[in-house]
Amino acid sequence: MSGFGEPIARREDPRLITGQGRYVDDLGAGALAAAFVRSPHAHARVVDIDVDAALDVDGLVAIYTWEDLPGRVGEPLPLLIPHPSLTHGRTGHPLARDVVRHVGEPIVMVVAEDRYLAEDAAERIQVTYEPLPPVVGLREAADATRLVHDDVPGNVGAHMVQEVAGEGGADARAAIDAAPHVLEFRLDIERSASMPLEGRGVYARWDTDDGSLRVYSSTQASTSVRAAIAARLGLPPGKVEVIAPDVGGGFGVKIVHPWPEEVLVPWAARLLDREVKWAEDRREHFVSAAHERAQVHFVRVGFDDDGRLLGLDVRILHDHGAYTPYGIIIPIITSTQLLGPYKPGAYRVEFTSLYTNTVIVTPYRGAGRPQGVFCMERTMDRIADFLGRDRTEVRAVNFIQPDEFPYDQGLIFQDGRPLVYDSGDYPELLRRAKKLIDWDGFEKARTEAAARGRRIGIGIAGYVEGTGVGPYEGGHVEIDTSGRVHVSTGLTSQGQGHQTVFAQIVASELGVLIDDVQVTTGDTRRFGYAVGTFASRAAVMSGNAIALACRKLRDKALRIAGEALEADPRDLDITDGVVHVRGNPAAAIPLRTVAVLSNPLRYAFDEEAKRATQFAVSGSMDDPPIAPGDEPGLEGRDYYSPPRSTFAAGMHAAIVEVDPDTAEVRVLKYAVVHDCGRLINPRIVEGQIHGGVAQGIGGALYERMVYDGAGQLLNASFMDFLMPYATEIPRIETDHIETPSPLNPLGIKGAGEAGVIPVSAVIAAAIEDAEGIRIDAMPISPDEIFRLRQRAATGDAELLKRSRGRPVPS
């Protein structure tokens, strides 16, 4: 069996792992190559651009600056997600006009016969800059003694407050003031990035005679890229095709669109009437794509003797870099998803989103949730330490209970809809996580390790993730006359396994063999209406749309088969692609024949087709061959549009060892209990979790964006940006529970981002537990642990309550 729920192997892997993948840079071998002159300054005025020396390079085709861009091509890039609180949204131009605001901002596009020559020419272009004072880091941004944009006072792009009253109507600040216990602290998360192994890339072909454009882009949103290109280039959407071929990872960064290059490359291809391609290199990706995560959080919490939250007040400073093309989705998600599986009592959250002269900040897997979970779970750990209680007990008293769903947190979520949790069982997640990591046996393990001179610690953290945000996705399913099932959906794939899970849904819904099912994603030639792949939404949105399309197709197939078999469609079943009367396998007709019959023909192009021609079919001579309201062909198309998000959840726990001498951290054990509703394919869900946890460990222990005071990114390479290898990732134990979503026909919830979300919180808790020293900033390196130990030795670091008065670890 290979239907819904089966842990089958990924069908796309044999192709991808034997080098048969087809990525943007595998296409267009004869295309011209584009390269860009990018700003070496974080903030500067472009005074002059001298291209004379570049003109000597053989093979140079064209050089473009902003002055060359006509009409809408040169306009500022769109602000994709406007929001009333984003009062000072700003976006860059495709090529810089006058002022550059981060290192890596594109200034000149060079087109040449190949990329080598394009880089040779780019190197010879002399740009004269008048450096301006840069704003780097949240402190400088908030101080606002220098401005990133002259017309944005205080560097403040957005400011937003959400507030929910507690029991009795008390606001959060009053509830905290009245609480028996109050804690107040600051928590920091640094910058990281999606960092897909394939960078961005665009390849464009203009067909002069047809007046049409085909664009291949390594994107997470091909339909919207098409809309953007059509608008900028003044082409009818029907004359623009955008295809996301195989995409080597996205993790959020490729949802941003149109990137400057996505406008410029197609524009140049049309202007030059030549194929043009740009494949981003790694250094470009570091300085000109997007980053995420950097936020500072000021938390104030009031609670009772049991650790029950009475009031929570969080102020957030969000660093959104030089521009805001993707709006303020990240701090909105942090603000709302911070609450996790808990009831906060009264809650107030306020964020200020600030400009800095650094690369733009847009969602990266988790998208603001890792920061929110870090706040809430560090808060839980602090309360437990303050009260001297087990950390899991404090969490348990604050849980939303299984009988309280749907549970309204009283906030507005990132989709503009109420933050209402649809289903879940948080106590069960905790129970299983404790079992999987052996929480109750840990003190014994700690003592035994200590006897051997080893220092270990344990941490736990939970999260709730709003997945499957709208507005919609669609699915189209068609069975051809050879019985093959062609499935398409408009959203894109970046390696998630859509070829497998969507086919499993189709196999189950239609009763066909999975080997007969072919899935196409992200190709506007096949499906023109779509939103994109982000927010753990593909399975929920397209999965349900495809299921609904299958149900339409199935109804039609049974109706036609019923006529052919002279049977009531309600008595029919489909098994292995054959429609048959239930209980009478002899009365059967294959779907491929149903497909023939579904399309009345005048011309018999083959033997099978004869059965559908006008002299072969019987029926009333007074009825039209196609009944009113019916359509030729055996296909179904439908859309799924949810009222609001569906909420997945999980609980992670880890045991780490910290070397008493070198402060190196090793994750000894990592456990995940996960609930994404009904599982389409447990194996793929586990793969998603493993990848997410690996990225989370990267964010917790290795990866950071090191900017110096001048706004230079000092580690813009894989040598110095420490993405973890397989050698840094422990074995990950997983367990699942399934609380089906009542919101969608398949009862599923998203799983794509889950793995990464709580990892920094878990690892911080475990290191803190091992060291007995408070951890309030992530990521953390051995050097920082070493310095924390030194500070603890001089009384300059906060110790856990349980370790106060004890000898400080050396």
What does the binding site for another protein look like in residue numbers (CB under 8 A)? 115-116, 119-120, 123, 281-283, 661-664, 702, 706, 714-715, 717, 719-720, 722, 724-725, 727-728, 781-783, 786-787, 790
Q: How far is the CB of 119 from another protein (least distance, A)?
A: 5
Q: How far is the CB of 115 from another protein (least distance, A)?
A: 5
Distance CA 300, CA 56 (A): 63
- Based on CB atoms, which residue is closest to another protein, 144 or 722? 722
Q: How far is the CB of 276 from another protein (least distance, A)?
A: 17
- Based on CB atoms, which residue is closest to another protein, 202 or 228? 202
Two tokens at 25? 């840079």
Distance CA 780, CA 792 (A): 16
Q: How far is the CB of 110 from another protein (least distance, A)?
A: 12
CA distances from 310 to 131, 165, 473 (A): 50, 10, 40
Q: Using the 8-state DSSP alphabet, how is residue 542 labeled?
A: I
Backbone region of residue 424 per phi and psi (left: phi > 0; alpha: psi in -120 to 50; beta: other values)? left
**CA end-to-end distance (rounded Å), the chain:** 57
- Based on CB atoms, which residue is closest to another protein, 91 or 781? 781
Distance CA 377, CA 396 (A): 12
Beta-carbon contacts of residue 96 (< 8 Å; ≥ 6 apart): 39, 46, 66, 105, 106, 107
350: how many CB neighbours lie within 10 A of its CB?
Answer: 17
Distance CA 791, CA 777 (A): 15
- Greatest distance between any 2 Cα atoms in the chain: 98
40: how many CB neighbours lie within 10 A of its CB?
Answer: 15
Q: Look at the chain and count its residues.
A: 810
Q: How far is the CB of 724 from another protein (least distance, A)?
A: 6
Q: How far is the CB of 370 from another protein (least distance, A)?
A: 21
- Based on CB atoms, which residue is closest to another protein, 459 or 779? 779
Q: How far is the CB of 722 from another protein (least distance, A)?
A: 5
CA distances from 274 to 107, 206, 270, 347, 359 (A): 22, 7, 7, 58, 31
Distance CA 329, CA 26 (A): 33
- Based on CB atoms, which residue is closest to another protein, 605 or 725? 725
Q: How far is the CB of 175 from another protein (least distance, A)?
A: 43
Distance CA 691, CA 685 (A): 10
Q: How far is the CB of 381 from another protein (least distance, A)?
A: 26
User: For the chain, how big is the Rg over CA atoms in Å?
Assistant: 29
Q: How much of the chain is in helix, strand and coil states, percent to nearest 5?
A: 35, 25, 40
Q: Which residue has the tokens 């344990």?
A: 458
Residue 602's Cβ-count burial label (10 Å; 0-12, 13-18, 19+) is: exposed
Residue 753's Cβ-count burial label (10 Å; 0-12, 13-18, 19+) is: buried
Q: How far is the CB of 58 from another protein (least distance, A)?
A: 10
Q: How far is the CB of 678 from another protein (least distance, A)?
A: 38
- Based on CB atoms, which residue is closest to another protein, 59 or 687? 59
Omega into 406 within 30° of 0, i.e. cis?
A: yes
Residue 295's Cβ-count burial label (10 Å; 0-12, 13-18, 19+) is: buried
Distance CA 473, CA 477 (A): 14
Q: How far is the CB of 782 from another protein (least distance, A)?
A: 7
Single out the residue of 359, 309, 362 nearest to residue 338, CA to CA.
Answer: 309
Distance CA 529, CA 230 (A): 15
Q: Where are the beta strands (DSSP E) in 439-484?
A: 456-467, 473-479
Q: How far is the CB of 784 from another protein (least distance, A)?
A: 9
- Based on CB atoms, which residue is closest to another protein, 144 or 723? 723
Distance CA 261, CA 250 (A): 17
- Based on CB atoms, which residue is closest to another protein, 24 or 501? 24
Contact 220, 492 (CB under 8 A): yes
Distance CA 207, CA 269 (A): 10
Residues paired with 774 in a beta bridge: none
Q: How far is the CB of 712 from another protein (least distance, A)?
A: 11
- Based on CB atoms, which residue is closest to another protein, 12 or 119? 119
Helices of type H across 566-610: 591-597
- Based on CB atoms, which residue is closest to another protein, 118 or 420? 118
Distance CA 128, CA 39 (A): 10
- Based on CB atoms, which residue is closest to another protein, 282 or 802? 282
Distance CA 772, CA 786 (A): 13
- Based on CB atoms, which residue is closest to another protein, 34 or 510? 34
- Based on CB atoms, which residue is closest to another protein, 547 or 663? 663
Q: How far is the CB of 648 from another protein (least distance, A)?
A: 31
- Based on CB atoms, which residue is closest to another protein, 561 or 729? 729
Q: How far is the CB of 662 from another protein (least distance, A)?
A: 5
- Based on CB atoms, which residue is closest to another protein, 175 or 287? 287
- Based on CB atoms, which residue is closest to another protein, 127 or 316? 127
Q: Where are the beta strands (DSSP E) in 482-558?
A: 485-489, 517-521
Contact 192, 364 (CB under 8 A): yes
Single out the residue of 339, 82, 80, 41 nearest to residue 221, CA to CA.
Answer: 80
Contact 341, 464 (CB under 8 A): yes
Q: How far is the CB of 657 from another protein (least distance, A)?
A: 15
- Based on CB atoms, which residue is closest to another protein, 586 or 719? 719
- Based on CB atoms, which residue is closest to another protein, 417 or 791? 791
Distance CA 445, CA 439 (A): 10
Q: How far is the CB of 728 from another protein (least distance, A)?
A: 6
613: how many CB neighbours lie within 10 A of its CB?
Answer: 15
